């Protein structure tokens, strides 16, 4: 994947997500890719000055552009279907 464990976050865009418990967590956008005409992003949780690249700290989300988005903006949606999420993880693992 080319992402080193606890990579420095200097070179990544970031996004803050509200979690199910109401807390907010900041993530770095580690990668963007397309699968079957859909766009996805790989996020890594930011911990202090580092990015957690353990599987527990990483998250795949679907990226959607609509008319309300500006040029470089996307809406991130949770991949709720466990089979779809697994398919995205497997697809990404094969990209290297």
pLDDT in tens, 30-55: 999 999 999 999 999 999 889 988 88
- Give the pLDDT band of residue 70 (cuts 50, 70, 90): confident
Rounded Cα–Cα distance for residues 35 and 54 (Å): 23
Q: Are 58 and 18 in contact (CB under 8 A)?
A: no
Question: Minimal CA–CA distance to 45: which of 73, 75, 68, 12?
Answer: 12
Whether residue 9 is predicted with pLDDT greater than 60 in this model: the reply is no
* pTM, to two decimals: 0.81
Query: What distances in angstroms separate CA 74 from CA 18, 34, 54, 81, one per listed residue?
Result: 16, 14, 25, 20
Mean predicted confidence (pLDDT) in 10-21? 87
Query: Mean pLDDT score of the chain, rounded to an integer?
Result: 86
Across residues 76-89, what is the average pLDDT?
A: 95
Tokens encoding 45: 């949780």
């Amino acid at each position: 994947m080319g992402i080193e464990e606890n990579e420095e976050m200097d070179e990544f865009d970031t996004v803050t997500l509200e979690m199910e418990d109401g807390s907010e967590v900041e993530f770095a956008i580690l990668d963007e890719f397309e699968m079957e005409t859909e766009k996805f992003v790989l996020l890594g949780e930011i911990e202090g000055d580092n990015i957690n690249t353990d599987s527990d700290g990483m998250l795949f989300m679907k990226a959607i552009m609509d008319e309300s988005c500006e040029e470089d903006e996307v809406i991130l949606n949770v991949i709720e279907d466990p089979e779809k999420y697994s398919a995205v993880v497997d697809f990404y693992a094969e990209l290297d």
